[in-house]
Amino acid sequence: VPTRRQTLQVAAATMLSGLFRPSASRAATTAVRLPDRRTLDKALRAFAKVVGDDWVFSSAEDVALYRDSYSLLWGEPDEKVAAAAVAPTSTEQVLEVVRIANQYRIPIYPISTGKNLGYGGAGPVLSGSVVLDLKRLNRILEVNERNAYAVVEPGVSYFDLYNYIQERNLKLWIDCPGPGWGSLIGNALDRGLGYTLAQYRNHFEAHCGMEIVLPTGTLMRTGMGAMPNAQTWQQFKTGYGPWVDGLFSQSNFGVVTKMGFWLMPQPEAFGIGRVYVPRYRDLIPLVDIMNRLEASHILQGFSSLSCPIIGTSIGGGPSAMVPTQQDAEIMAIVNDPNGFSPERLDAIGVKKGLNFWSCDFNLYGPAKLIDTQWSCAQDAFAAIVGARFELEIQPLPLPKEKIDALQDTVSLGIPTLRTYSTGPLTDYDGAAVVGHVFFSPVVPRTGEAVMAANDVLGKLARSHGLPVTPIQFPNPAFERAFLFVIALPVTRDIKVNQKIRKIFAELVQVAAAHGWGEYRTTPAFYDEISATYSFNDHALRRFHETLKDAVDPNGIMSAGRYGIWPRHLRPGGE
């Protein structure tokens, strides 16, 4: 069980001022009703009776630790800040806290490990909410090697589960996101992503079975878990009747207190198959062939596109921002103020013997399977004139020295925090950059769409002086679509943050005009992005609101998350 101090260590700490502020945005600012100080104090005393005095945090110093240190609203009246926090240690305590929140109409905001940096950190969406910090529910309830799954509580981090597996020498891998200090549950509920095989790296899809405290204070289990004494809760996802699990991701319909996850059997070997293709437009057949191989499950590992001629590598994140190629002739074309010409780069590539694209495909399994997979992949990619291939296979597990020397361990299922040291935190507009928020639209899995996204979104970002190269790479984590992530800097300068917010909003609108919507975002943009999913007069949002009103009649749970507001906080609400 973490210490009180560890529970509070959420993000960068800074003093908090002014606790009760209504959120701007879609919430009806005039109608926002937050509990008065006396009611809040009564509720905090009731919480303390359940969890103990030490686990209710209301001093400014403690509550400041729940600020989102990557907030683009930092220090502004609209910054989303908590009024207090409460940290239960069991599901029974969570049930009690939820009942008290209903009794006093206290808005609560559950977090697991609260490390959602870039997408909201540990902060609530509605200022004045009480953060329900679940870090002390940190039990690994089961790891089943035979059927390859785990059942965990919200406070279990990727590091915790990895260490548990290593200490017992279980032949299982986890799939982790870039930073390993987050939780399996928090990351999956925000529909986060990882880096091994497709069926594991989509973290929400890799779950099997949930336990949820509903906003009215009822405990519910989904899938087979709805049957008392179920034998297959973690083995059969859908159970019986309508499958509701998705409703608890990117939503505010309950507090998840347990979740099952399918784990990957430890593979015998790891391979990287690399294909080089010479010309800019070869991206189109490259992506088509990649898609066919992936949809046929011949390739299933993470693929990393790079651009050898410029020298940039995989990402979309901060690491992809800086070209590493120092060739002056090439950089003059890349940075041509009249616009970047791929055709001129093609020509110079021929002259200098440099390929335009290369793509690494991660491969897992017995070496003879990797050989066969790669041989099939080569046959397919050979349709592109000039394609060249490389394959490297290493037996697993890797020795410790080799793991320590790796920049990336996440494709081997090993959690790390190295992602925080890969991107440059350069100044923007004269202000020191303290972090990033991620603009993350979903674009079609075609070469043409990648070119178009670069032409439209990349160009727009560069026109505002953001350090985005003429070629940003799509993130292939999800199976049937690309993410085209652009990291926007966060500073502590209000004027600069305001400018970044304007750029972010412009990117959202321009992307929507092209039919590209975001898969996830930071709370400052929940409402704006929800508004772009507007088919048939916002039928989807209205449906979410209908559900919200039914499952959370007092509107106490995570108000505003992903643009879903309870009735009394909606425009015209009472």
Ligand X SMILES: Cc1cc2nc3c(=O)[nH]c(=O)nc-3n(C[C@H](O)[C@H](O)[C@H](O)COP(=O)(O)OP(=O)(O)OC[C@H]3O[C@@H](n4cnc5c(N)ncnc54)[C@H](O)[C@@H]3O)c2cc1C
State the binding string over 317-356 for ligand X (x if CB under 6 A, else -).
----------------------------------------
Query: Considering the rule CB under 6 A, would residue 394 count as an interface residue with ligand X?
Result: no
Taking CB under 6 A as the criterion, the residue among 32, 97, 189, 461 binding ligand X is 189
Looking up tokens 């009649």, which residue turns up? 553
H or E element that contains 139: none
Q: Is 177 in the site for ligand X (CB under 6 A)?
A: yes
Judged by CB, which is closer to ligand X: 122, or 165?
122
Q: Does 179 bind ligand X (CB under 6 A)?
A: yes
In angstroms, rounded to a whole number, what is the distance separating the alpha carbons of residues 122 and 111? 7
The Cβ of residue 379 has, within 10 Å, a number of other Cβ atoms equal to 9
Instruction: Decide whether 70 or 374 has the Cβ nearer to ligand X.
Output: 70
Tell me whether residue 183 is exposed, middle or buried, using C-beta atoms within 10 angstroms of its C-beta: 0 to 12, 13 to 18, 19 or more: buried
- Single out the residue of 16, 185, 290, 508 in contact with ligand X (rule: CB under 6 A): 185
CA 530 – CA 456 distance, rounded (Å)? 21
Please report how close the Cβ of residue 423 comes to ligand X at its closest, in angstroms: 7
Least separation in angstroms between CB 257 and ligand X: 7
Structure tokens belonging to residue 100: 């008290």
Q: Looking at beta carbons only, is 22 or 114 nearer to ligand X?
A: 114
Q: Where in the sequence numbering do the catalytic residues fall?
A: 119, 519-520
Nearer to ligand X, 31 or 247 (CB): 247
Q: Is the dihedral of CA 403, 408, 411, 414 positive or negative?
A: positive
Residue from 92, 126, 123 nearest 106 by CA: 126
Closest CB to ligand X among 192 and 301? 192
The smaller minimum CB distance to ligand X, of residues 117 and 391, is found at: 117
Cβ(180)–Cβ(417) below 8 Å: yes
CB nearer to ligand X: pick between 283 and 410 = 410
For position 461 contacting ligand X by CB under 6 A, the verdict is no
Binding to ligand X by CB under 6 A, coded x per residue (else -) over 471-510, reads ----------------------------------------
Residue 337: what residue type?
Answer: P
Residue 192 found at the interface with ligand X (CB under 6 A)? yes
Nearer to ligand X, 133 or 294 (CB): 133
Tokens representing residue 363 in the block: 């491969």
- Cα separation, 434 vs 491, in Å, equals 5
DSSP state letters, 109-127: EEESS--BTTTTBT--SST
Residue 244 near ligand X by CB under 6 A: no
- 8 A C-beta contact, residue 492 and residue 74: yes
| Residue 401-440 contact track with ligand X, rule CB under 6 A, x = bound | ------------------xx--------------------
Residue (of 89, 8, 76) closest to 498 by Cα position: 76
Compute the least distance from the CB of residue 159 to ligand X, in Å. 11
**Buried b or exposed e, range 251-282, using 16+ CB within 10 angstroms:** bbbbbbbbbbbbbbebbebbbbbbbbbbbbbb
Q: Closest distance between ligand X and the C-beta of residue 521, in Å?
A: 11
Residue 554: CB minimum distance to ligand X, A:
17
**R_g (Cα) of the chain, nearest Å:** 24
Distance CA 83, CA 128 (A): 5
Any contact of residue 9 with ligand X (CB under 6 A)? no
Binding mask 80-119 for ligand X (x = CB under 6 A): ------------------------------xxxxxxxxxx
For residue 436, give both structure tokens.
């990033």
Q: Name beta bridge partners: 391.
A: 273
CB atoms within 10 A of CB 449: 21
Q: What distance lies between CA 107 and its chain's CA centroid?
A: 24
Asked if 154 is part of the footprint of ligand X (rule: CB under 6 A), the reply reads yes
Q: Per rule CB under 6 A, is residue 255 in the interface with ligand X?
A: yes
The candidate with the shortest Cα–Cα distance to 446, out of 391, 392, 516, is 516
Is 566 a binder of ligand X (CB under 6 A)? no
Question: What is d(CA 92, CA 258) in angstroms, rounded to the nearest whole number?
Answer: 12
Structure tokens at 289: 């062939």
- Quick one: CA dihedral 174, 157, 556, 561, positive or negative? negative
Site for ligand X in 524-563 (CB under 6 A): 558, 561
| Residues 17-76 interacting with ligand X (rule: CB under 6 A) | none
Instruction: Closer to ligand X by CB, 312 or 373: give it.
Output: 312
Is residue 433 a contact partner of residue 425, using CB atoms and an 8 Å limit? yes
Among 27, 193, 307, 507, binds ligand X (CB under 6 A): 193
Question: How many amino acids of this chain bind ligand X (CB under 6 A)?
Answer: 31
Task: Please name which of 317, 415, 321, 410 lies closest in space to residue 362, comparing C-alpha atoms.
Answer: 410
What whole-number distance in Å separates Cα of residue 423 and Cα of residue 436?
10
* Span of 165-173, 183-191, 227-235, 298-306 interacting with ligand X by CB under 6 A: 183-191
Q: Strand, coil or helix: what is 260?
A: strand
Within 263-282, which residues bind ligand X (CB under 6 A)?
A: none
Q: Interface with ligand X includes 258 (CB under 6 A)?
A: no
Give min distance, CB of 350 to ligand X, in A: 36
Of 407 and 534, the one with the shorter C-beta distance to ligand X is 407
Least distance in angstroms from the C-beta of 367 to ligand X? 28
- Nearest-angstrom CA–CA distance, 322 and 468: 8
Quick check: 134 binds ligand X (CB under 6 A)?
Answer: yes
Of 26-34, 180-188, 235-243, 308-316, which segment contacts ligand X by CB under 6 A? 180-188
Task: Note whether 161 binds ligand X by CB under 6 A.
Answer: no
The span of 47-55, 85-93, 141-149, 181-189 binding ligand X (CB under 6 A) equals 181-189
Binding site for ligand X (CB under 6 A): 110-120, 134, 154, 177-179, 182-183, 185-187, 189-190, 192-193, 255-256, 419-420, 558, 561
